[in-house]
Structure 1
């Protein structure tokens, strides 16, 4: 009898402890500025420059703007020179006079990294934001239904996977040598679960998460912070500039929120609302997400959202 009572007490203690841990984690998500405070000079203590891929618009541009406001000069890397120059003018108007360096590069191509490495030579890089990414198609579809599939496979893997690894290869040695630095790799909230119709895209984002976790383990002792940021809805050109709502943030609102979680661990959703959505997605039975009915409904939902 005494043994049974002991087992029940032990189970009760474990349950209370488990619930306490879950409650603590919830509070930490709700109040990041209290749990993960950043000193005012955090970014400038890491160096003088931020390098942002896909920095001409959307989430990348929002990161550039926020990091400039925190005192860093910024390097914007993107394909369109016209969009880069427009972004530079916007940062100049809205920040505190930080320097802006522009590098034109098409990340779907192969032979671009020598030029990027030479352009970044000698810069004291504090933050690298690997943000650039593309979808195989605007409207989600089955893998074999992707238009120009062979070309899209090459482009998506080059842009979403190879770019991140190569940019880390270029920037990380300097961070290791100086013993400081931050690398932010932008993934996606839906990479947490199997998600048909975005199969190729999600696979690249899973690579980002695993690569980032390994990189953090390897270089944490060098005082380098590597974090994956996994948003759900953000109103960008990739998402057809969907209207802001409970789930969908403007790029600036999302980036402002995500920077508050910089010390929250090697992975973050970047906001309370997206963290709740992530919990919901991870607890949906797998058969629901992989069913034909869900795929059809989701495809129609996206079409309506982007006005297709």
Structure 2
């Protein structure tokens, strides 16, 4: 197993790779013979994730500790992936301003949260593409998956800052795909709805809420399905339903109240 990994030589870089969807991408692609680089802020969590992936897949995992909410981390990341043949970049790192959704001014530590959300959900994607794209362009191949969210499809009060940051990711990906498609590079936005992770309070998986592993396995089947995918038939249908809701309903105080209560219940459950 190790032999095939080193023979292939391709590396997959995953931001926010110590947990949730990021770790699931790292593990799934490691099974397919890729060497993995996971980047996250907590070295202890990175080490545990790396051990788990190596034991499960027999692949090699490199870890880089970097806090994407900070500004000055990209020189350190670039230094540590210099010279690697990067075939896949998964821009997965992202944060919610609050686990329980609320109006913008009700956000605790709002100033810090604005900075952290924009750094993690917006800047990290652009900077990681800036680091990895030149090598992909030179080799004439590569895949960049930018993890967004289904709620980017609608104006979403009480998730306003988060949803807006995810809209940025979708537009950025679409433009970049148009620019680099002819170079043999696939750039795709992956926009799930419910996935049970620490960020979503480990909601109980059900018909519409996947485990991270289930979601990643499903989403990889849609790799050539165009510049955007919800990653599963279920979430695609959910996207159609959500987009059919009249805007005035979404923007009403009643909807905001019920949506907040629904999320609270799901997280408690």
TM-score (normalizing by structure 2): 0.96
| Cα offsets for 1:72-112 (capped at 9, x unmatched) | 000000011010000011101111x2111000000000000
What is the CA distance between 1:304 and its match in structure 2? 1.2
Aligned to 1:199: 160
**3-state SS of the aligned residue for 1:260?**
helix
2:7 and 2:27 map into 1 onto residues whose CA distance is 18
Match of 1:136 among 97, 101, 110: 97
1:72 has 2:30 as partner: no
**3-state SS of the aligned residue for 2:222?**
coil
Aligned to 2:118: 157
1:98 and 1:302 map into 2 onto residues whose CA distance is 37
Aligned to 2:145: 184
Tell me which moved more, 46-55 or 234-243: 46-55
Cα gap change, 1:47 to 1:286, in 2 (>3 Å) = farther
Aligned to 2:15: 53
What is the CA distance between 1:305 and its match in structure 2? 1.2
**3-state SS of the aligned residue for 1:52?**
strand
1:295 and 1:90 map into 2 onto residues whose CA distance is 40
> Which structure has the larger Rg over C-alpha atoms?
1
Match of 2:59 among 98, 112, 128: 98
1:282 has 2:243 as partner: yes
Unpaired segments ≥5 residues, structure 2: 1-5
Cα gap change, 1:286 to 1:83, in 2 (>3 Å) = same
2:7 and 2:195 map into 1 onto residues whose CA distance is 29
Aligned to 1:20: none
| Cα offsets for 1:182-217 (capped at 9, x unmatched) | 000000001000010000000100000000000000
Contact 1:46 1:181 (C-alpha < 8 Å) held by counterparts: no
Aligned length in residues: 265
Cα gap change, 1:55 to 1:90, in 2 (>3 Å) = same
What is the CA distance between 1:46 and its match in structure 2? 9.3
Cα gap change, 1:131 to 1:46, in 2 (>3 Å) = farther
Unpaired segments ≥5 residues, structure 1: 1-43
Q: CA RMSD in A?
A: 1.5
Aligned to 2:178: 217
Tell me which moved more, 297-306 or 129-138: 297-306
Give the alignment of 1:232-251 within 5 angstroms: 232-251=193-212
2:200 and 2:117 map into 1 onto residues whose CA distance is 16
TM-score (normalizing by structure 1): 0.84
